[in-house]
Amino acid sequence: MVRIFLLLCLYISITSCASKKEPSTDESKTKAIFSFIFDDLNTSDTLVKSIFDEYNMKPSFALVSSKLDSTSAIIYKSYYDQGISILSHSVSHPKMNDPLINEDTVDFELKSSKQNIEKYGINTSGFVTPYSLMHPKFLKLLEKYYTYSFTNNSKDKFDKTVNKHALSRYGIESNISTSDHSIDKIKSRIDSAIKNGELLVFYGHALPSRYKDDLGNARVNSDDLRRILSYLKGKTDNKECKVLTSDLAISAYYK
């Protein structure tokens, strides 16, 4: 009798366990991933890094490789060793949708900028197009050197249908309020990215920003960045999304 009772208990526990393994709609849904890339190689990158440290998050940096020298390379190599992604942002920052730029020039910029960074022991698998927009005819060149590229050819899509060399980003400077520094627009973009399970990569430049607000002050300052990170920290603590370096964000989102 006892044996039958135990067998019955075992059967119930196995069947209830099996039913728990069924993925719920929520678990199978793609989770949003966010990332932050700061362009151009600015001396304020060290400030950006220290602000991200406050939130236990990591930024990524896209370097114009002609500005990289043995002194600055020590800083970026130490960031790289801490898991920060270092991307290429060309050698000389030309417009890559200019009708006059030719394929050889673009190829040189893509290839040499990667070499210039990697000679310091920093592996570089991502590219950021200067002035955001790469002519679609050059997209095939990117595949030779990079795993992923921001070329603004995704037609405002931020999901898994986007080719990894057609990625777009979302500007902090262009989406913060120029009248009162409100980040409401950025918050609602974060909310919709979470709702739709998007990969949303923010970008900025120097901090404070060289772009101006309506009063002539920096359009984005350290406290603005802190407010954005603080909002996202609440979301990550609540397990609604992840904030990753760009290399990890791409591999996690497209896995």
Q: How many residues does the chain have?
A: 255
Query: Rg (Cα) of the chain, in Å, rounded?
Result: 22
> In this structure, what DSSP letter does residue 132 have?
S
Q: Taking the CB of residue 233, how many other CB atoms lie within 10 A of it?
A: 16
The Cα 86–Cα 106 span in angstroms is 20
Q: In the complex with Zn ion, which residue's Cβ is closer, 73 or 130?
A: 130
Which residue is listed with tokens 């679609």?
A: 136
**Smallest distance from Zn ion to CB 40, Å:** 5
CB closer to Zn ion, 160 vs 210: 210
Least spacing, CB of residue 207 vs Zn ion, in Å:
14
CB 208 to Zn ion: min, Å: 17
Task: Kindly tell me which of 40 and 191 has the beta carbon lying closer to Zn ion.
Answer: 40
Question: By CB under 5 A, is residue 247 in contact with Zn ion?
Answer: no
Instruction: Provide the minimum distance between the beta carbon of 29 and Zn ion in the complex, in angstroms, as a whole number.
Output: 34
Q: What is the DSSP string of 87-98?
A: EE--SS---TT-
By CB under 5 A, the residues from 7 to 36 that bind Zn ion are none
CB nearer Zn ion, residue 94 or residue 197: 94
Q: To the nearest 10°, report the CA torsion of 49, 174, 171, 107.
A: -110
Q: Using CA atoms, how far apart are residues 46 and 155, in angstroms rounded to an integer? A: 33
Q: Which is nearer to Zn ion, 88 or 153 (CB)?
A: 88
**Which 39-68 residues touch Zn ion, going by CB under 5 A?**
39-40
Enumerate residues 115-144 that contact Zn ion by CB under 5 A.
130
Binding site for Zn ion (CB under 5 A): 39-40, 130
